[in-house]
Amino acid sequence: MRRIRTAQIAVPIALLASAATAGADDTASDDAAAEAGDPIVVSGIAQQEERLEDFATQLSEADPTSPIALYEPGQYCPGVVGLSPVWNQEIARRMREVAQATGIKPAQGACRTSALVLFGNNRRELLRQFQAMHPEYFTELTGERIDFQGREAPVMAWKLLARLDRDGKPIQVNGDGIQVVEVNSGMSRTAAATRPIIAMSVVLIDRSAIRGLNTRQIADYALMRSVTDTDPARVKASVAPTILKVVDAPEGSETPLSLTSWDFAYVKSRYAVNRWSLGPSQMASIRAGMKHNLQAGE
């Protein structure tokens, strides 16, 4: 599958870190229309708001009774297997670089892999072999359900979640598989007594899905799958510019060269939320953060 790369969509990490730029030309057009008093701009702004909200929703699993799952500071450590040693190392290096720029706060120096990316010639066979050799990557931690995203897609991803109490300790699970939480202080309606953390993420990629892509595109795609709650089917319907569409891009279509400003704004906003707030409150913060970051580059 040959894809046309478009440099206009690619944004350097250093530039994104200072101010995430707008992801679509219609924003600039809206500004010009506003200065001319064009009433159509109202519709344009509303559409932009709707696109932003849809994109944030497509990348998030927000529970009204629980915070969103995040990596703990210093715990994100990418490891790549299945390509050449040079490509494996470069993809992992780039993933760590983007994680640092977006506020994930990755591990420094030598570390134990917590974001595993595996490549194989047949994704389904790779899954079968991996599960047979490493069943621990398919075992629930502290009773947290595993959500396998993209079971029928060329790329499949999932996360092993653990749940911590207010003291930072893993919660206990009784013999019936029920989570047991002891709360010393009064319960709050706006803050959680426990929260999920990402202990491990796994991304399985069929090599055919990355044909024609470079290491930067692959790394940025893998990072997004490892830190977001992305269902490939939902992202396909998105009109937002995102690196997450790169593996499904039709032959001859334009694809981003790297993480887009929308991708950057989402991850940065996700990792800036109050970690103890409940899902709806965190989603509101993510949407506000994305809007601020995208407007900052206009």
Measured from the Cβ of residue 236, the count of other Cβ atoms closer than 10 Å reads 12
* Burial of 33 from C-beta contacts in 10 A (0-12 / 13-18 / 19+): middle
* Cα–Cα distance, 150 to 124 (Å, whole number): 11
* Burial of 163 from C-beta contacts in 10 A (0-12 / 13-18 / 19+): buried
Largest CA distance in the chain: 68
Measured from the Cβ of residue 187, the count of other Cβ atoms closer than 10 Å reads 8
- pLDDT band at residue 188, thresholds of 50, 70 and 90? low
- pLDDT band at residue 221, thresholds of 50, 70 and 90? very high
At residue 56, does pLDDT exceed 70?
yes
* Cα–Cα distance, 23 to 264 (Å, whole number): 10
- Cβ-contact 247, 155 below 8 angstroms: yes
Mean pLDDT value of segment 130-156? 88
Question: According to the model, what pLDDT value does residue 41 have?
Answer: 44
Radius of gyration of the chain (CA): 20
**pLDDT over 90 for what percent of the chain?**
57
Residue 112 per-residue DSSP state = -
